[in-house]
Structure 1
Amino acid sequence: MMLNLFDQFATPQILGLPLILIAMLFPTLFTPKTLRTTPNRTTAIQKWFTSTLTKQLMLPLNKPGHTWSLPLLSLFFYLLLINILGLLPYTFTPTTQLALNLGLAVPFWLMTILVGLRNQPTDALAHLLPTGTPIPLIPALIIIETISLLIRPIALGVRLTANLTAGHLLMQLISSATLALIPMSKTLSLLTLITLALLSILEMAVALIQAYVFVLLITLYLQENT
């Protein structure tokens, strides 16, 4: 029986219910339901990480843009938990689905555009035409800038999908090679197993980085409209 490497990205179903819905709701189990009043090492590390991340994300924004800190932080932690939980055995990674990533990218991108059109419509529309443009090039540049503006959410979704898909495929290939090399050479099989362990650590870093890049790009889009 031939193994299709892309079967791992097909949404599994049980009794006709797509498991992607369960996978999307699973991170809520890891969110605290009550706040601890007594500080400990865990809460101190969480507070430090959250405050550092907030400073990094809000650094490009002016003061009115800081009101976006809570939804952007929530989006980051949601993507981070989904990406990391998808690395566990017998699990499914919803962020390998382009439809889900576009479903997250398009509303946030659209909100940045609407904020710019509401607060500073002149400056928001001025981004479509660079200053000092020769008059004969104005129609072409407006079309190009409009296309580049509309393609932003697609780039957000495709970037997240492609990076996670590539990592999962590489892990699948190396794990298959590890099992295939066991009867032939125990040494080579052990080396590929070590490579797989190192790649798993790298994928955890990629899960963190991709969630951060996704949210950071949204803050950069928001910077142009606040």
Structure 2
Amino acid sequence: MALNFFDQFASPSLLGVPLIALALTLPWIMFPTPSVRWLNNRFLTLQNWFINRFTQQLLLPLNPGGHKWALLFTSLMIFLMSLNMLGLLPYTFTPTTQLSLNMGLAVPLWLATVIVGMRNQPTHALGHLLPEGTPTLLIPVLIIIETISLFIRPLALGVRLTANLTAGHLLIQLIATAAFVLLPLMPTVAILTAILLFLLTLLEVAVAMIQAYVFVLLLSLYLQENV
């Protein structure tokens, strides 16, 4: 029974086609498209307002050199948020519960920020490995520690997103199973469990949005150190 709870994190397939391909493609349909009309509908207006506010908030602490990443960060934010939200629907699959996908997003983007720093201002980028005023005896130790922390950043990005979504989905399935089991035995407790499940689902929706924002926000902070 315990193994069945983790079946939801396995990549399913339909007629030999992996559903992860469909899950990765579907969010792009929700992106706003240019219109020839004078006024947009409510959905496009809400999307445009959200994109503008998010972009302004994200690029506020960045130098002008980092503003070139605005389109990439905004697209990544909407893409991750759409994947996380779509995974909460019945008969769907959440690709962001797979560590391989999250690491595939985190490592190249983190590496790009490091390469930008090494190319444009190598002295400043290497200066992060050794804080100013460090005693001479601690210099080798601090360089090793800062280097390790630098290479742990992409791992932390991918593991954070995977762990939060996996834990939330697993908890939802556990409580849903408990509600079905308790329904014929203790209906009152089952109803209370169902209410708890509903509240947890709302919390998971918020977590899906927040984790996508945190992923992009941390990338922007890494970029801020290198521009």
Q: What is the TM-score normalised by the length of structure 2?
A: 0.95
CA distance in 2, matches of 1:125, 1:27: 38
For the residues of structure 2 that align with 1:37 and 1:17, how far apart are their CA atoms?
Answer: 38
- 2:12 maps to 12
Segments of 5+ residues of structure 2 without an aligned counterpart are: none
The Cα shift of 1:34 comes to 4.0
Distance in 1, Cα, partners of 2:152 & 2:117:
17
Residue 218 of structure 2 is matched in structure 1 by 217
Equivalent residue number for residue 191 of structure 2: 190
| Cα distance in 2 for residues equivalent to 1:2 and 1:148 | 35
CA contact (8 A) 1:11 1:20 kept: yes
Q: Give the deviation of 1:43 after TM superposition.
A: 3.2
Inter-partner Cα distance in structure 2 for 1:50 and 1:138: 44
**Structure 2 residue identity aligned to 1:17:** V
Provide Cα deviations, 1:150-188, integer angstroms capped at 9, x if missing partner.
000000000000000010011001100110011112111
Alpha-carbon shift at residue 2 of structure 1 (Å): 6.2
Summarize the alignment of residues 142-181 of structure 1 with structure 2, pairs less than 5 Å apart. 142-181=143-182
Residue 71 of structure 1: how far off its partner (Å): 0.2
Corresponding position of 1:27? 27
| Contact preservation (8 Å) 1:60, 1:219 | no
The letter for the 2-side match of 1:96 is: T
TM-score with structure 1 length normalisation? 0.95
Alignment CA distance shift 1:36-1:198 (3 Å): farther
**CA apart distance, 1:16:** 4.0
Deviates more, 1:6-15 or 1:73-82: 6-15
Residue of structure 2 equivalent to 1:94:
95
The within-5 A match list for 1:16-95 is 16-35=16-35, 37-39=37-39, 40-95=41-96
Query: Does 1:199 find its partner at 2:200?
Result: yes
Q: 1:134 to 1:26 in 2, by over 3 A?
A: same
1:88-115 deviation digits (Å, cap 9, x = unpaired): 0010000000000000000110010011
Percent of paired sites with the same residue: 62
The CA distance in 2 between the partners of 1:202 and 1:101, in whole Å, is 22
Structure 2 equivalent of residue 132 of structure 1: 133
Is 1:104 paired with 2:109?
no
Residues 16-43 of structure 1 show CA distances to partners (whole Å, capped at 9, x for unaligned) of 4332122111212222444353324333
Asked if structure 2 preserves the Cα contact closer than 8 Å seen for 1:57 and 1:219, the reply is: yes
Contact 2:113 2:222 in 1 (8 A): yes
Kindly indicate whether the alpha-carbon contact (under 8 Å) linking 2:32 and 2:47 is maintained by their aligned counterparts in 1.
no
Q: Does structure 2 retain, via aligned residues, the 8 Å contact 1:102–1:157?
A: yes
Q: What CA distance in whole angstroms lies between the structure 2 residues aligned with 1:26 and 1:53?
A: 22
Letter matched to residue 171 of structure 2: L
183-192 vs 91-100, which moves further: 183-192
Cα RMSD of the aligned pairs, angstroms, is 1.5
Change (3 A) 1:225 1:101: same
Q: How many residues align?
A: 226
* Distance in 2 separating the partners of 1:223 and 1:2: 44
> Which amino acid in the other structure matches residue 21 of structure 1?
A
Distance 1:21 1:44 in 2: 29
Q: Greater CA deviation, 118-127 or 7-16?
A: 7-16
**CA positional deviation for 1:44:** 2.9
Quote the Cα distance in structure 2 between the aligned partners of 1:14 and 1:50.
34
Distance 1:154 1:132 in 2: 29
> Structure 2: how far apart are the matches of 1:33 and 1:53?
18
